Amino acid sequence: MIKLVTTDPTRIKSNLLVIAACKDANVYEHPRLVATIQQTRRLSEFSGNRGDEIVLYNPPGFTTDRLMIVGLGDLERLNAEILRTATGKAVGRAMEHELSNVTIAVPGPPDGSLGFEDLLVSMLEGACLANHHFDRYKNDKKTAAVKQIAFVVPEKAASKHRRLVTVAQTICSGTLLARDWVNTPANDKTPQRFAAVVSKLCEKTGLKTRLLGKKELRRQKFGSILAVAAGSETDPALLVLEHAPARVKKTVALVGKGVTFDSGGLNLKTNVRINQMKADMAGAAAVAAAMICLSRLKPDLRVVGVIPLVENMISGQAIRPGDIIRTYSGKTVEIGNTDAEGRLILGDAISFAIKKYRPEVLIDIATLTGACVIALGEELAGVFTADDELAETILQSAQRTHERCWRMPLTEDYRDLLKSDVADINNMPRHRYGAAITAALYLSEFAAGTRWAHIDIAGPAFHKKSSAYCGPGATGFGVRLLCEVVRSLAKTL
C-alpha cells in the first residue's frame, strides 16, 4: 500500500527512511535532513552523484532503524526518470532485506523545470513498479513486496495530491499485471486459459467483454487467426474488451499481438531465438492491462481492446510455407514464412476492429520483428505511422512514461517487397533488409482508411536482466504508454 503522510520524517517509526540528495544543492527544508546530508557528503563514499547510495544504521536524531540517502546528481539535470530510478532502487533494496515498512521523504519543490506534481508522480511510479517480484512458481518465496510505503509531503500537498497516488497506483498495477502474464510460462497460458483469466478480471472491472472461440472464428471467417492456430493442440480466441461510457462519440481501438508461444511453426526457430517466445503475447498483455486501468480511469472516449490469441506450433495440421489463406478482410495471403505469424493475426484483428467499431484512431502493439531489435536495440520501441499528429502524441506520451519510442519510416516503395505471384500479398518480404518496416507495411494494408499507428515492442518487452524498477523478464512495456496515449487522445479527439 502506498500513502501520503505529513509526519516529521525524523520522528517516523520505519524500517527504512529514504531521503534524496543532489550533488550541488539542498532539496529539503527540514534542518536535520539538511545537516545529515551535509555530514554524509563529507564521507568519501557519498557525494550525491546519480546512483550513489549509502545506508546509516540507527542514525542519531532519527527514530527510523535505517536511513538511506540516494544521490540524484546535479539539480539542474534532475528529471522524472532519475527520480523514478532512485526511488525504485531504494524500494528494491528494501525488498532484498525483507523490510515491510518504508518511508520516503519527498524533496521540496525544486527551482528547476520539474514541478512538484511530476516529481511526486515519478517517485510514486518508481516505488510501485519496483515493488514487485514474479515468484508464482517458487516454493521458497524470498523477496516479498514491501507492505507499506509512505511518502512524506508538505501539509498543503497531501490532500491536494491524493488523487495522483490513486492514478499512479492504478496505472502501475496494470504494468505489474502485464509483467505477471508475460512471465507466466506458455504451458500455463494457452490462448483459452489466458483469455479466461483476462475476461474474468475484465468483467469484474465493468468492461464489456466478449470472447470469440474457434467455432465463432470459423463462422466469421477469421482465416489468418485460424491458419496460425492450426498447428496447435489448443484453440485460438479473440478477446474483445470495451470501455463504453454513455454519450461518448469517439472511439479508439487498441490491438495487441497475443501469440502465447511462437515456435516459428514449420519455419522453426533456432535454439537461441525460441527461448523467450512465451513473451510473444506482450502486446496482448499490454492492451488487456491498459484496458483494465482505463476502466478505472474512465476517460471520455470509447476504448476497444481487440486481442487475437494463438499458439504458433507444429503438427500435421500446421500451415505450410507456400499455403494460401483467405483472411477476414477477404484478401488472400501467401504464407512465405510461418514465423511471420504476428502480422497475420494482427491483420484479421485490425480488419475486425475497423469493420465493427469504426474507430477514429487504431493503435496496434506487438513483439513483431527481430529486425526492430537490431535497428533500435533492446530499450526502444519502433513507432510506425503515416500520421504525424498521432506519431507526436505517442512520442510525447512515451517521453512522459519513459517507455522510450523512436519513429521509424513507412517507406512506400518497400511495399513491392510484399508482392506475391499467386496471392494478393505475401506475409514474407522478398529480402530481409528493412524487415521491421515491411512488417509494418503489411499491417497497413489492413488498416487502410483509418488513422493508424503500429508500435513494435520486440526489444523492450522482455529483458533478461533486471533494472532499477523492473525485475528480470517481462517489463510490462506499453501499459503506461497506452494509458497515457488514450488519456491524451481523450482531450484532443
Query: Which residues are annotated as catalytic?
Result: 269, 343
Site string for ligand BES, 260-289 (x = CB under 6 A): --x-----------------x---------
Give the nearest distance from C-beta 293 to ligand BES in angstroms.
24
Asked if 359 and 353 count as a contact pair (C-beta separation under 8 A), the reply is yes
Q: Which grid cell is 312? A: 504458433
242 binds, among Mn ion, ligand BES, Zn ion, none (CB under 5 to 8 A by kind): none
Give the nearest distance from C-beta 267 to Zn ion in angstroms.
11
Instruction: Return the number of the residue (66 or 343) whose C-beta is nearest Mn ion.
Output: 343
Coil vs helix vs strand at 459: coil
Q: Which grid cell is 346? A: 494482427
Asked if 318 and 231 count as a contact pair (C-beta separation under 8 A), the reply is yes
Task: By CB under 6 A, tell whether 428 contacts ligand BES.
Answer: yes
**Which residues, 6 or more positions from 106, have their beta carbon under 8 angstroms from its beta carbon?**
119, 120, 123, 151, 152, 153, 157
**Which residues, 6 or more positions from 297, have their beta carbon under 8 angstroms from its beta carbon?**
167, 170, 171, 483, 487
Exposed/middle/buried for residue 376 (C-beta within 10 Å: 0-12, 13-18, 19+): buried
Residue ranges that bind Zn ion, judged by CB under 5 A: 259, 262, 280, 342
- State which residue has the least CB distance to ligand BES: 370
Instruction: Return the number of the residue (262 or 364) whose C-beta is nearest ligand BES.
Output: 262
Exposure of 152 in the CB half-sphere (CA atoms within 13 A): 23
Give the nearest distance from C-beta 5 to ligand BES in angstroms.
43
Could you write out the DSSP letters of every residue in 281-342? Answer: GHHHHHHHHHHHHHHHH--SSEEEEEEEEEEE--STTS--TT-EEE-TTS-EEE-S-TT--H
Q: Which grid cell is 243? A: 470501455
**C-alpha torsion sign, points 80, 81, 87, 91:** positive
Task: By CB under 5 A, tell whether 456 contacts Mn ion.
Answer: no
Q: Rounded to whole angstroms, how far apart are CA atoms 17 and 90?
A: 10
Which listed range, 14-22, 248-256, 339-347, 388-396, lies at the site for Mn ion (CB under 5 A)? Answer: 339-347
Task: By CB under 6 A, tell whether 435 contacts ligand BES.
Answer: yes
14 binds, among Mn ion, Zn ion, ligand BES, none (CB under 5 to 8 A by kind): none
How far from the centroid of its chain's Cα atoms is residue 108's Cα? 30
Distance between the two ends of the chain, CA-based, in angstroms?
A: 35
Give the nearest distance from C-beta 350 to ligand BES in angstroms.
16
Q: Interface residues for ligand BES in 319-378 (CB under 6 A)?
A: 337, 339-342, 367-371, 373
306 binds, among Zn ion, Mn ion, ligand BES, none (CB under 5 to 8 A by kind): none
Coil vs helix vs strand at 144: coil
Asked if 287 and 365 count as a contact pair (C-beta separation under 8 A), the reply is yes
Instruction: Return the number of the residue (334 or 341) whose C-beta is nearest Mn ion.
Output: 341
467 binds, among Zn ion, ligand BES, Mn ion, none (CB under 5 to 8 A by kind): none
Among 254, 294, 408, 458, binds ligand BES (CB under 6 A): 458
Instruction: Return the number of the residue (341 or 348) whose C-beta is nearest ligand BES.
Output: 341
Q: Name which of 240, 367, 241 is nearest 292 in CA terms.
A: 241
Instruction: Return the number of the residue (259 or 405) whose C-beta is nearest Zn ion.
Output: 259
371 binds, among Mn ion, ligand BES, Zn ion, none (CB under 5 to 8 A by kind): ligand BES
Give the nearest distance from C-beta 333 to Zn ion in angstroms.
16
Q: What is the DSSP letter of 243?
A: E
Q: Interface residues for ligand BES in 244-263 (CB under 6 A)?
A: 262
Buried b (16+ CB within 10 A) or exposed e, 61-89: ebebebbbbbbbbebeebbbbbbbbbbbb
- State which residue has the least CB distance to Mn ion: 339
Q: Which grid cell is 279? A: 513473451
Instruction: Return the number of the residue (397 or 427) whose C-beta is nearest Mn ion.
Output: 427
Give the nearest distance from C-beta 434 to ligand BES in angstroms.
11
Give the nearest distance from C-beta 280 to Mn ion in angstroms.
7
Instruction: Return the number of the residue (83 or 366) whose C-beta is nearest Mn ion.
Output: 366
Task: By CB under 6 A, tell whether 456 contacts ligand BES.
Answer: no
Task: By CB under 5 A, tell whether 339 contacts Mn ion.
Answer: yes
Give the nearest distance from C-beta 254 to Zn ion in angstroms.
18
Chain contacts with ligand BES (rule: CB under 6 A):
262, 280, 337, 339-342, 367-371, 373, 428, 435, 458
Chain contacts with Mn ion (rule: CB under 5 A):
262, 339, 341
